């Protein structure tokens, strides 16, 4: 069955979902996006995702030609129209279509808004049970990584390098310090049990799953320490994992071909994944 997508105020079949060749998202990557998980037909962490969307739009002086309430109704309508039980909803907002010029078009240009669904298993995910392998790559991105921009070529290259190496994710690094994954935030558990992840700054994306995990972990007596960690620390970590809206808490069992701990998901990571599923996913709505 063809998916139903949303394009600029209309619900259309995916084969009819089109935007102009002059759209600035296509010409300049002049846009932002969000991906919200869906479990049991319900949105997970929806409001924080939309808060981040508005922040990203504000940083790039983008506007949304619809109210916040209308946007949520579109999300819910897509879940219904596509009978989506589990997966995600991709949302993109660009500066719209105008003749090619680097400077912003005039105020009459209307932003482009596109949404579509992707069905996938999130809760009962084989990788979540067995863990994944990651590789490390230099971080070659621009300096405003806190903006969820559609300019993702560096991440595309990192993820492709991971695929070619038989891994599922790439951890990016600068001067020997891990920044984040190609599409995730990165964490290690030290040999003395401390859970480390890089603090928020312009250098990383403020992950919504990251924020929720830090909150619910603290409620369960587990503290996630926000400080940079090095590749050297990662290679001798007891455990490692990623977080993302598309995978929740994902164990990492090898880095650059070297096993993490005993090469299996560790007890801290396993507990954090279960806490997130219990406290956040089951309370979605």
Active-site hit among 61, 133, 148, 168: 148
CA distance 36 to 118: 10
Q: Enumerate the β-bridge partners of residue 249.
A: 243
Query: Is there a catalytic annotation at residue 148?
Result: yes
- Active-site amino acid positions: 148
């Amino acid at each position: 069955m063809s998916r139903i997508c949303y394009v600029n105020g209309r619900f259309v079949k995916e084969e009819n979902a089109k935007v102009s060749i002059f759209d600035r998202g296509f010409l300049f990557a002049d846009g932002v996006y969000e991906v919200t998980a869906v479990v049991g037909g319900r949105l997970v962490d929806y409001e924080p995702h939309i808060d981040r969307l508005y922040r990203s739009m504000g940083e790039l002086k983008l506007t949304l030609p619809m109210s916040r309430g209308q946007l949520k109704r579109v999300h819910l309508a897509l879940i219904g129209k596509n009978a989506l039980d589990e997966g995600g909803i991709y949302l993109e907002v660009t500066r719209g279509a105008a003749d090619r010029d680097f400077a912003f078009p005039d105020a009459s240009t209307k932003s482009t808004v596109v949404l579509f669904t992707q069905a996938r298993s999130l809760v009962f995910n084989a990788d979540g049970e067995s863990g994944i392998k990651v590789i490390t790559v230099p971080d070659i991105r621009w300096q405003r990584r806190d903006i969820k921009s559609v300019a993702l070529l560096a991440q595309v290259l990192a993820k492709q390098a991971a695929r070619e190496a038989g891994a599922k994710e790439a951890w990016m690094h600068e001067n020997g310090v891990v920044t984040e994954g190609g599409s995730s935030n990165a964490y290690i558990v030290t040999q003395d049990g401390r859970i480390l992840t890089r603090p928020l700054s312009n250098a990383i994306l403020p992950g919504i799953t990251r924020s929720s995990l830090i909150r619910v972990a603290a409620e369960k007596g587990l503290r996630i320490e926000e400080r940079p960690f090095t590749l050297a620390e990662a290679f001798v970590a007891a455990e490692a994992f990623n977080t993302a809206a598309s995978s929740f808490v994902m164990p990492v069992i090898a880095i650059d071909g070297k096993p993490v701990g005993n090469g299996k998901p560790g007890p801290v990571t396993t507990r954090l994944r279960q806490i997130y599923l219990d406290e956040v996913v089951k309370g979605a709505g």
